Amino acid sequence: MKIYTQTGDQGKTSLISGERVPKSHPRVQACGEVDELNAVVGALAAALPPGTEAVAAELRRIQSDLLDVGAWLSAAPGSDIQQQLTPLDPDLAGRIERRIDAMTPSLPELKAFILPGGHMSAAWSHVARTVCRRAERSAIALVIPETGGESQGEARNGLAPAIVFLNRLSDYFFVLARYLNHHTGIADVPWRK
């Protein structure tokens, strides 16, 4: 099976709802950033230290959830295809919050800004955090009128769980980075002026 289709050689691609749009379209950009985040999560999972199997399972679940989020982002608002997509779990963000809450008590109190880095897995988690923030900004741009967003009403409601999920997810990656450094015996490096 050939991986290349040559259908985008004119600079256009198709949304899942059928529209042919430039590859620079904001909806394509948002999908691409969620895809990029998913790839970074894969790199993070590959760098996990021994004894973090539960984290690996969490990350696999997050990767699947991100594919669902990508499908919703790639459907134009009000399109028929939205009726066929499985609604996003309203508890997506809640699940992430519970993981944050479970990791936090084991960590030293945070008294200063910290520098991204440490164990390889923690460094990847910081990369995931920042890519996640960018994906969140792009997703929000699709629904906020001030930024030319086109998703209104019900269509916006369909995306609401995705946007809250992306927001919590970046917080999760911040805590996970600290958790992984703590787990591997690496201290946070505080910011010094």
Partner 1 sequence: MQLYTVHVKGRQWLTDRIFEIRFDRPSGFDFRPGQKIAFVFEQNSRDYTLLGPAHGPELSICVRHVAGGHFSPRLAAAAPGDVFQVTAPSGFFTFKPSPRPAVFVATGTGVAPFVAFERAGVRDFHLLHGVRTAENLIYGPELAAAARAYVPCLSQPVAAGGSTVHFTGRVDAWLATRLPSGGYDFYLCGNGDMIRDVMRLIDERFHSSHVFTETFF
| 31 lies in the binding site for partner 1 (CB under 8 A) | no
If one asks whether residue 24 binds partner 1 (CB under 8 A), the answer comes out as: no
Question: Is residue 1 within the footprint of partner 1 (CB under 8 A)?
Answer: yes
Please report, for residues 23, 72, 151, 166, the alpha-carbon distance to residue 131 in angstroms, rounded to integers and kept in the order given.
19, 19, 23, 10
User: What are the two backbone dihedrals, phi and then psi, of residue 13, each rounded to the nearest 5 degrees?
Assistant: -145, 170
Contacts of 133 (CB under 8 A, 6+ apart): 170
Shortest approach of partner 1 to residue 108 CB, angstroms?
43
Identify the helix (H) or strand (E) that includes residue 141.
helix 120-143
**Is 104 one of the binding residues for partner 1 (CB under 8 A)?**
no
Binding partner 1 (rule: CB under 8 A), the pick from 54, 64, 80, 98 is: 80
63 binds partner 1 (CB under 8 A): no
Binding site for partner 1 (CB under 8 A): 1-2, 5-7, 9-10, 12, 14, 16-20, 79-81, 84
